[in-house]
Amino acid sequence: MPKLKMPANLPDPIINENAKIVLKRRYQKKDAEGIVYETTKELFWRVASAIAEEEGKYKNSSCKPASLARDFYDLMTSYRFLPNSPTLMNAGTDIGQLAACFVLPVEDDIEGIFDAVKHAAMIHKSGGGTGFSFSRLRAKDSVVGSTGGVASGPLSFLKIFNCATEQIKQGGTRRGANMGILRVDHPDIMEFIKAKERDGDLNNFNLSIALTETFMKAVEKKEDYDLVAPNSGETVGTLNAREVFNILVQKAWESGDPGIVFLDRINRDNPTPKLGEIESTNPCGEQPLLPYEACNLGSINLGKCYAKGRNGKDSEVDWDELKRIVHLSVRFLDNVIDASQYPLEQITRMVETNRKIGLGVMGWADLLYQLKIPYNSQTAVDLAERVMKFVHDESRSASKILAAERGAFPAYPESTFGEANLGPYRNATTTTIAPTGTLSIIGGCSSGVEPLFALSFVRNVMDNDKLVETNPFFEQAVKDVDAYSGKLMEEIAKVGSIRKMDHLPEELRKIFVTSMDIEPIWHLKMQAAFQKFTDNAVSKTVNLPASATKEDIWDIYWKAYEYGCKGVTVYRDGSKTSQVLCTGDGD
Ligand code: ADP
């Protein structure tokens, strides 16, 4: 429990209505009867003070814990930055597990497989999500040496992980999330591609196929590629790469699954290849990690980094403010590593060796709305690069300052940084762009780097609560052009978008675009722009109308490869029965 005393003059946080529901249900502490006893002020102070207290153990620190706790409190309650959900839930409590992302190895033997099931259960209980590669498991029907029987293959075990997840509701609030990855050259790849073709199958898993450079070249040349048995390393068959790619596209068109990750590209950016190869990511794909590695994330709300130009007219990004926030956030996230207790000794060791953090951004669409820049424009893509380069450069410089105060991450000498003599850093990675599914509700901002799903919509959260939301920047802009009326808002809530509302000024319709108004190519260009300056990966969904064709998805998957993305996820409207976001009355 935190020792720093709450200052008497600490202001109460201002919390929007939707955030109140989410905080109460998931984040504020409850007693044995389920009665909430923690106020939101106590919640944010609990987190701020627990993370700031870590500062005390660093003799050369330039900050004092008490004043840092106040800075962290202000940072979070002004919604300029929020750490990932497990930090908000568990910091300063007995659980103390603060990271959102984990990757666990799945070894090719029964003991190893069930160890992984158990470890995943422990992580889910503490609010983390787990990613696994099933690529090391021998193929279905291959021989099991010890028994002389035949192996049941990755898919059958995947079902066990899924079932175990189903039974562990995380602290009674959120169900666990998993990523399952299989290399495209695994003999069971076709079965894996089709694993989620029936709605509801493997519902606790996102699936991604790990595509290799060799495979992508074979798709391009319409050639065959080899399937390799993971246990023996022998080639056991061939498939036509383009046919596999076509089926992959077909399945993604039907249900959104599987996504794809470019494995060689991920490993090209692995900062510590001597510690192992990266074979999986966390559940939403934005955080590639080594086996047994964990990472804590945090997101800066760019919507709060808007400044009116000095002439009072031209608007700009508030770079000074953004720099201040980045530096404070990096210190926060590095302290989270020390404050966190991990469920396994191996994880503690890996995390302390690499000290990865994932600082990202949210509220990007909100910033564009304020700057009056359409999301689907080259101006927006160019600004995305500029903003993310700035965040990335400043996060590295903050990590360097921390290294001077506290020492470099222990694997630094053998890392790619050390070998290139880039100077010591405190963290092997500093940037990741997360989906910010719940953080964006708490922060009252647009999520991650996504365009708005709708200007006004009904959000389904946490199984059955429905929340109505209208974007505040849109509301203001409509008032500014004197077009505001309750009737108009009702009309918009039904369809989400104003694209077809000819009676509204054209400029308004150009700026206030929503994800469905945006051509897929702009989704991808935006993802690639942010990826260019992100150490880890970018969570981004290319949202498509129900009318999108398989060719559209083929094109998106291929362009994601060409543009240098680390993976891609598509979602065609209506292709799953239960959607997280929906327009209309939300039934
Ligand atoms: P939040 O906004 O709650 O902090 P995000 O939507 O940004 O979370 O997701 C970030 C990461 O947190 C995911 O990639 C995943 O690793 C983890 N995560 C998200 N939702 C869940 C969940 N329901 N169960 C377990 N882990 C989750």
129 lines ligand 1 (CB under 6 A): yes
Catalytically active residues are: 282, 284, 286
177 lines ligand 1 (CB under 6 A): yes
Closest C-alpha to ligand 1, atom 27: 129
CB-facing half-sphere around the CA of 33: CA atoms within 13 A: 2
Do residues 225 and 214 make contact, with C-beta atoms less than 8 angstroms apart? yes
Helices 378-406, 364-371: crossing angle, 10 deg rounding: 130
Q: Taking 50 as the threshold, does the pLDDT of residue 585 lie above it?
A: no
Q: For residue 323, how far is its CA from the centre of ligand 1 (angstroms)? A: 26
* Proportion of the chain above pLDDT 70, given as a percent: 94
Q: What is the pLDDT of residues 417-456, one digit of tens each?
A: 999 998 899 999 999 999 999 999 999 999 999 999 889 8
Stretch 367-383: mean pLDDT, rounded? 97
Q: What pLDDT shows up at residue 587?
A: 28
Give the nearest ligand 1 atom to 129 CA.
26
Cis-peptide into 258, omega within 30 deg: yes
206 lines ligand 1 (CB under 6 A): no
Q: For the chain, which domains are there?
A: 1-98+295-452+518-581 (3.20.70.20), 101-281 (3.20.70.20)
Q: Taking 70 as the threshold, does the pLDDT of residue 173 lie above it?
A: no
Phi, psi of 149 (to 5 degrees): -85, -165
534 lines ligand 1 (CB under 6 A): no
Handedness of CA 166, 172, 174, 179 (dihedral sign): negative
Closest C-alpha to ligand 1, atom 5: 436
Q: For residue 100, how far is its CA from the centre of ligand 1 (angstroms)? A: 6
Q: For residue 356, how far is its CA from the centre of ligand 1 (angstroms)? A: 17
Beta bridge pairs of residue 457: 469
Q: Taking 70 as the threshold, does the pLDDT of residue 170 lie above it?
A: no
What rounded mean pLDDT belongs to the chain? Answer: 92
Give the nearest ligand 1 atom to 282 CA.
16
Q: What pLDDT shows up at residue 172?
A: 53
Closest to 381 in 3D by CA, of 320, 473, 454, 451: 451
**Whole-angstrom distance, CA of residue 568 vs CA of residue 479:** 37
Phi, psi of 559 (to 5 degrees): -65, -35
Q: For residue 353, how far is its CA from the centre of ligand 1 (angstroms)? A: 23
| Lowest model confidence (mean pLDDT) among 270-274, 461-465, 567-571 | 461-465
From residue 493, give the alpha-carbon distance in Å to each of 375, 471, 515.
20, 11, 15
Backbone torsion region of residue 133, taken as left when φ is above 0, otherwise alpha when ψ lies between -120 and 50, otherwise beta: beta
Better-predicted residue by pLDDT, 410 or 169: 410
ipTM over 0.90: yes
Q: What is the pLDDT of residues 68-81, one digit of tens each?
A: 999 999 999 999 99
Closest to 210 in 3D by CA, of 123, 152, 135, 102: 135
Q: What pLDDT shows up at residue 126?
A: 86
Q: What is the pLDDT of residues 208-260, one digit of tens each?
A: 999 999 999 999 999 999 999 999 999 999 999 999 999 999 999 998 899 99
